[in-house]
A and B are shown apart, each in its own frame.
Chain A
Amino acid sequence: MSELDDLIDFKTGRQKRVIYSDPDIYEQELEKIFARSWLFVAHECQIKEPGDFIRTFMGEDEVLVVRQKDDSVKAFLNTCTHRGNRLCKADHGNSKTFVCNYHGWGFGTDGALNGVPLEKEAYYNKLDKGKFGLIEVAQIKNYKGLIFATFDEEAPSLEEYLGEMKWYLDVWLDAMPEGTELIGTAMKVELPVNWKLPVENVSGDGYHLGWAHAGAMSVTTSMSVGGLEVGNTGTDNDGAVSVAGLNGHTVLAALDGQSGYGFYPDPKIAVDYLQANRKTVVDRLGEFRGTKMWGSQINMTVFPNLQMLPGLNWFRIYHPKGPGKFEMWTWAMVDKEMSDDLKQMILDNVSRTFGPAGLFDNDDGDNLQAITEQSHGWRTRQMDVYTNMAIGAEHSREEMPGVISDGLVCEQNQRYVYRRWLEMMKADSWDDIPQYNSLEEARATEAK
């Protein structure tokens, strides 16, 4: 038993509140989780041409993701190798070089140090420029349009890291032949909240919808979403599933094939699009995913900090900024084949529901901020919080991978997110981090 074991009890669904406030735990998270995981850095559509770049974060480390002349993608720490200044201040754009504002060192889009002012006069031509190129991430890989990177050379392949989560991701990323694109730029909001709270919320918390979002649900709902009702008076356990045990990744899914557009006031053109393309998707993904999942409201979480909701069509990453702060970046993501009108309707709806002035999103901030603050006090930080709903309801299903519980109102997924958190926090190396993608594997690898 390590001290960390006391923080999380997977079996009973208990977490110590101190995990949301303690600076030492946060420092360990940066090392054990963010420095080792595969983190989303860019969608390929954001950097189409050579020299296109995006400035983003991996944990608290700032990185530049750059399209190369040979069409490959590299990611570098956004910091000058001379005196450590930030290299690029723009959010995105196209550039032939990155020149440091401090002394004028210039780097190519391939990261090589090409230009050093006064190289002859001040360095006497003895600077080995080959040793001062930008620092690259350890691994970078594209999964069906999404580019992930990791600082860990020892990390398993991206495919292995994602495991059977790929089967679910494909319901969005590979449903239509041309795949997905982000439309618009990132909507960025800073929140005084521990980064784990929005992740666990979207991973599995269907319970809060009918209550925390009662106002937003009242004015936007046009179709049933998992049987959820304003005032938290209803749920449909047969029509939806919580899926976990996928190497820490989770899925919360209605199984009706259309409720993704349930929070659009007038979803007609979206529903028409689903009908028109249903057969294509069934051909590509099979009957179950094509009819039950594609079009449904689905929350997908790629551990530790990427979430995407097909239907509501938002795509979001959380960048930690200390134990009590994070930045949330939200985009609208669509199928490339969608009509311009449908894309515009989706962009407007993403902004209107989950943007900075989003009808739903504006309900969550104060709750999650208060939980963070209620983990700081001398007494409260010793207390526990619970995700103990539907313990023992886990089962498996032939038609889909992972550990399944019924319904959207269920805390199974949060328990598995915290289980993964503990597994990574405790592990000295990837050899100690179990891989599991089914109920049997999840049980066999459960910590004693």
Chain B
Amino acid sequence: MIQAPDDIYLALQRQLYYEARILSAAQYDEWLAMLADNINYAMEMPQRRFKEDRTPDRAPRKTPIFDDDMAALKMRIARFNTGFVWAENPINAIRHIVSSVEVFETDDTNQFSVYSIIEVHRSRLDAERKRLTAGRQDIWQKTGSEFKLLTRTATLDDGVVLDSNINFFF
């Protein structure tokens, strides 16, 4: 894989930090504005299989935690905006920490493949601390001086989800 030029790398790293800040602040209209109209935002339910077991999954389909297009993401955000999501009132403090950012060129000169790790810290209720980690593989589309997120495939590390809701994005 070919490393992206430094100016692209810096611009996309800035973009990821900015995205992390607005996701933590639940500024979802701004987040939607940085997504391509044909976004695919996906996260699969992890499975534990033996390494040597090469038999295909009996389940015919991958199981999503997220497999969202723009309409589905807007539906999630519309739910938050109803004011009826009692679990988020008072707000739960949340921090998105992005690290291990790598940017590579792709066959399309205007698209870049971006790997990163996202660590989500939530402080919930009285003394409840939740920490979820995931790897992310993105494709960002460059249009003029702007970048839009075209696809995000996040890989959750836990085989059992350790929070009773995912009222946030990775």
Contact = CB atoms under 8 A, between A and B. Distances in A.
B48 A363 contact: no
Interface string B135-170: 000000000000000000000000111111111000
A115 interface: no
Contacts of B64: 184, 347-348, 351, 355
B87 interface: yes
Contact of B53 (A93, A215, A347, A351): A93
B63 A215 contact: no
Given A95-B50, A219-B82, A363-B86, A351 B63 contact: yes
Interface of B: 43, 45, 47-50, 53, 55, 57-68, 71-72, 75-76, 78-80, 82-87, 125, 159-167
Given A214-B82, A218-B84, A363-B85, 5 more contacts: A90-B50, A186-B63, A187-B63, A218-B78, A352-B68
A359 interface: yes
25 contacts: A46-B59, A52-B55, A90-B48, A91-B47, A91-B48, A93-B49, A93-B50, A187-B63, A188-B159, A188-B160, A189-B160, A190-B161, A191-B164, A332-B63, A343-B61, A344-B61, A348-B67, A351-B63, A351-B65, A357-B66, A359-B79, A362-B85, A364-B164, A365-B164, A366-B165
Contact of A218 (B57, B79, B166): B79
A92 B58 contact: yes
Interface of A: 45-49, 52, 89-95, 182-193, 212, 214-216, 218-220, 230, 265, 327, 332, 343-344, 347-348, 351-352, 355-357, 359, 361-367, 369
A365 B165 contact: yes
Contacts of B61: 183-184, 343-344, 347
Given A343-B61, A352-B72, A366-B165, A185 B47 contact: yes
For the residues of B in contact with A, the DSSP-based class is loop
Nearest to B162: A190
A22 to B, nearest CB: 22
Given A188-B160, A189-B161, A191-B164, A95 B53 contact: yes
A322 B49 CA distance: 26
Contacts of B50: 90, 93, 95
Contact of B63 (A185, A191, A218, A366): A185
A92 B57 CA distance: 9
A212 B79 CA distance: 12
A183 B162 contact: no
B75 A186 contact: no
Contacts of A369: 125, 164
A329 to B, nearest CB: 9
8 A-B pairs with the lowest CB-CB distances in the bound complex, closest first? A365-B164, A184-B63, A362-B165, A215-B84, A357-B166, A214-B84, A94-B55, A356-B161
A345 to B, nearest CB: 11
A191 B160 CA distance: 10
B53 to A, nearest CB: 4
Contacts of B71: 265
B67 A351 contact: yes
B37 to A, nearest CB: 18
Contacts of A366: 86-87, 125, 164-165
B56 to A, nearest CB: 9
